[in-house]
Amino acid sequence: MNFDVVIVGSGLAGLTVALNLAETRRVAVVAKRSMTEGASDWAQGGIAAVLDSADSIDNHVRDTLVAGGGLCDEAATRFIVEHGRGAIEWLIAQGVPFTRDDAAELGFHLTREGGHSHRRIIHAADATGHAVVATLSERVRQHPNITLFEEHCAIDLITSDRLGLPGRRCHGLYALDPESGRTVTLQASHTVLATGGAGKVYLYTTNPDTATGDGIAMAWRAGCRVANMEFIQFHPTCLFHPYAKSFLITEAVRGEGGRLLLPDGTRFMPAHDERAELAPRDIVARAIDFEIKKRGIDCVYLDISHQPAAFLREHFPTILARCLEFGIDITKDPIPVVPAAHYTCGGIVTDLAGRTDLAGLYAVGETACTGLHGANRLASNSLLECLVIGSAASTAMESEGFNAAADAPLPDWDESRVSDPDEEVVVAHNWDELRRLMWNYVGIVRTDKRLARARHRIALLRDEIQEYYANFKVSRDLLELRNLVDVASLIVESARSRRESRGLHFSRDWPATLPKALPTVLAPEHIRNNA
């Protein structure tokens, strides 16, 4: 099937690209599950942008650079922040129902989160991502120029190397329909990876099941550089309950006065940082991890019960309702919380229009590394990046033109030499082992010895998984496991190469911070050899 653009992923970044191009182009959107089953839909807090005259572009840039541990690309940061208001106005025009405040300049309520010096987070109560994705996905569904491939898993990119053609270009991709077992060939002038992050590489994560690093792994296998993969943001406050899966408690709870407490009710954050609960996420997550390990406790508690019940019902209805399902009334009770893998700050190296090292291939959103997040993402900057870079990528594609119709048809997926899997338990076992070793050896606090152990075991797992992939028909679980083991290897190699502690990467063997901040950039061997 031939399109002008194929977009892998249906979160905010992918939907932004699709809607910006669909008026004049034939667009395909590939979603691993339904369109709304991604991290964007789960985002609670909101979108950071300068929307008030008391705030400024310089303030937002400064807050981002401080949180980023000196590693943010300042030009990229300024570009994204400067385009923030326009991105928000575009969403408002699309009909996104942000929480209103008639007393505010723009007419919408702005909240504040950790690391921000001003109120600049526009939101839709405590379910901003859902409001945004629901609005945009409905527009995508109704658009005649957009073809949806829901419940389809991207397998691999189709590159010039794979086809034996000169040059380095992406021509589309193969995708699997797991229900029928059928593999489709999607050919396009431009391919966009908007697959989100890789939180599922860890045992505990706030991410949905779709966050398996697919785009990062596919781009790496296709010859693209990746950067800063050691910087995995652990959200400090994930709901701790045996039946609560991946439910985070938004940073806005701390922004509105929530206090972190030990089981005996003692507040502990002021002892770790002068900003207390409003310190950046890496500091709060390490403080909680420290207190849990020091005291041998299972969790700490986040208490917002001193706020009026009506205030909590208005601002945090989703959290209030979800906690009530587990017998926790946040108007009266503190919330048990633990850190969990939350955001992948690194990713595929791109420019400010989402271009990768491979012609015809773009990456946007969490799967990409523009330089905005540095060593630690500032809260609510991620959805902003999706909007701004998604729009910029659309403009870049239009300027480069579309010529897929002139390309020779691509070969279909070849399954002639593989058989049905003999033991599915191999996939399940390797999946569990990978996530546990990443949690134990490559978590919030790292050591050289732990990283070496992780590297050794990941190499063995990768060999097992690759042998399985080569001999048996692919399935969704196998594809995700293959991608996760590649991403795990990239995280470990990046962490091993950073001989310092900075931002989200904390090493007991290298506790100092070097005077000069440099990104960690990994390149596949054939790129290094041809550089």
Selecting among 225, 254, 259, 281, the annotated active-site residue is 281
Q: What is the largest CA-CA distance in the chain?
A: 69
Report how far apart, in Å, the C-alpha atoms of 459 and of each of 127, 485, 486 are: 40, 9, 10
pLDDT at 406: 47
Six-digit token string for 91: 């969403």
Angle subtended at Cα 217 by Cα 238 and Cα 354, rounded to the nearest 5 degrees? 90
Do the Cβ atoms of 138 and 50 come closer than 8 Å? Answer: no
Q: For 417-466, where are the E strands, in sequence order?
A: 445-446
- Residue 18 contacts residue 146 (beta carbons within 8 Å): yes
DSSP string, 119-183: --EE-STT-HHHHHHHHHHHHHHH-TTEEEETT-EEEEEEEHHHHT-SS-BEEEEEEEETTTTEE
pLDDT digits (tens, 9 = 90+) for 479-488: 999 999 999 9
By the 10 Å C-beta count (0-12 exposed, 13-18 middle, 19+ buried), 332 is classed as exposed
Instruction: Dig out the tokens for 174 from the structure.
Output: 């193969």
In the chain, where the domains are located: 2-43+126-230+345-406, 232-341, 425-530
pLDDT computed for residue 530 by the predictor:
47
CA end-to-end span of the chain: 34
- Classified as helix, coil or strand, 485 is helix
CA distances from 189 to 60, 69, 194, 359, 397 (A): 36, 38, 16, 10, 9
Told to judge if 435 belongs to the known catalytic residues of this protein, a careful annotator would answer no
φ and ψ at residue 502, rounded to 5 degrees: -155, 130
Q: How far apart are CA 113 and CA 256, in angstroms?
A: 8
* Fold equal for 232-341 and 425-530: no
Q: What is the CA radius of gyration of the chain?
A: 22
308 is written with which tokens? Answer: 């009026």
Q: Which CATH architecture best describes the domain 2-43+126-230+345-406?
A: 3-Layer(bba) Sandwich (3.50)
- Tens-binned pLDDT, residue by residue, of the chain (531 aa): 999 999 999 999 999 999 999 999 999 999 999 888 888 887 878 999 999 999 999 999 999 999 999 999 999 999 999 999 999 999 999 999 999 999 888 899 999 888 899 999 999 988 899 999 999 999 999 999 999 999 999 999 999 988 888 889 999 999 999 888 899 999 999 999 999 999 999 988 989 899 999 999 999 999 999 999 999 999 899 999 988 877 889 888 999 999 999 999 999 999 999 999 999 888 898 899 889 888 989 899 999 999 999 999 999 999 999 999 999 999 999 999 999 999 999 999 999 999 999 999 999 999 999 999 999 999 899 999 999 999 999 999 999 998 754 466 788 887 767 777 666 778 889 999 999 899 889 999 899 999 999 999 999 999 999 998 988 889 999 999 999 999 999 999 999 999 999 999 999 999 999 999 999 999 997 545 544
Q: What is the pLDDT of residues 110-121, one digit of tens each?
A: 998 888 999 999
Closest to 362 measured CA to CA, from 219, 150, 173: 219
Query: Which class is 232-341 in CATH?
Result: alpha beta
Q: What is the CATH number of domain 425-530?
A: 1.20.58.100
Three-state SS annotation for 234-303? EEEEEECCCCCCCCECCCHHHHCCCEEECCCCCECHHHCCCCHHHCCHHHHHHHHHHHHHHHCCCCEEEE
Backbone angles phi, psi at 308, to 5 degrees: -60, 145
Structure tokens at 33: 């599950």
The pLDDT of residue 294: 87
In DSSP notation, 342-372 reads: EEE--EEE--TT-B-SSBTEEE-GGGEE-SS
Q: How far is CA 11 from the centre of its chain?
A: 10
Q: Please tell me the predicted confidence (pLDDT) of residue 423.
A: 65
Q: Where are the strands (E) in 345-461, listed by range?
A: 347-349, 361-363, 368-369, 445-446
Beta-strand ranges (E) seen in 9-98 are: 27-30, 47-48
